[in-house]
Amino acid sequence: MRAARLIKMVLLLQSRPSMTAAELARELEVSERTVTRDAQALSEAGVPVYADRGRAGGYRLVGGYRTRLTGLGRSEAEALFLSGVPGALREMGLEDAASAARLKVSAALMPSLSDASRAAAQRFHLDAPGWFTEPKTPELLPAVADAVWDDRRLLARYRRGDSDVERELEPYGLVLKAGVWYLCARVTANLDSFRVYRIDRFTTVEPGAERFVRDPDFELPAFWDERAEQFARSILRAEVVVRLSADGARRLPYAVDPAAAREALEIAGEPDADDGWVTVTLPVESEEVAHSQLAGLGPDVEVLAPESLRARFTNDALRLAALYGT
């Protein structure tokens, strides 16, 4: 415990010109008296810790006592500090490890790059969840993350419909999408089968005794992109036929699935000669969802089919006319 604290004290002093006893005590979560004793211990061990007296005094390292990371430019150093996602690291239980790593890197950088961490933090912040949501960190996420890092098989029970299902998994990677955590894993009983699981649906997870050998051809980003596209397409099980004004066609990708909208517009016929409206056949999740999405286009969309969806918009138009007048 004390050895780790002494190392952290040296790294703190390497990363800054000097620090007061109060600042060190706050960073190390000890008393100022303990800081004094630790500085004495470091000095006796040969680490050149020097104490300046007076109001502006503090502790500093002398004699060029520093380990440097050579070859790093400013942009590279700043990019390095952007590589961590604080919220995600905290949820996986890796916040302390990431903090220690950043401190070690800061301490080893050239003096001219010592402000890289602060510069990066001032210029970029990632807020992963969507608006108007309060994502809840899955209770079992740290245990799943440990298994992912350790390449250790995982016995997991998860909710599927009204029942629980148990699977032995090889956990390959974690994905944080719009505030929701997913596990990409291979089912041990069928090593050709990679699947995606929502971690908040796990009811229990138990790390196994055995580690697994990763498939060297597996690439998490490519796998996730493919599955995400498959999922987006799989839920588009219905079709609607609509006419769109030029403004409606421009806004369509913002109202419905963007990829589906772009593809529908690409294969649509030429605009009408009279009014410039274009007719498109659009895949949608359901009539209910299409009604909600297309309503946002207002008078720039006309539903042609199915008749039941057209009737919904006709009813909307009549109610709006009664509400606002003719």
Beta-bridge mates of residue 195: 185
State how far the alpha carbon of 17 is from the alpha carbons of 12, 25, 286, in Å.
9, 17, 63
Q: Which 3 state secondary structure label does DSSP give 65?
A: coil
Angle subtended by helix axes 246-255 and 258-266, to nearest 10: 150
How much is the pLDDT for 99? Answer: 67
Q: How many CB atoms lie within 10 A of CB 44?
A: 9
How confident is the model at residue 266, as a pLDDT? Answer: 92
Which stretches in the chain have pLDDT values below 70?
1, 54-56, 63-64, 66-92, 94-128, 132-133, 326
Question: Does pTM surpass 0.75?
Answer: no
pLDDT, position 102: 66
Give the residue among 269, 161, 174 at the shortest CA–CA distance from 221.
174
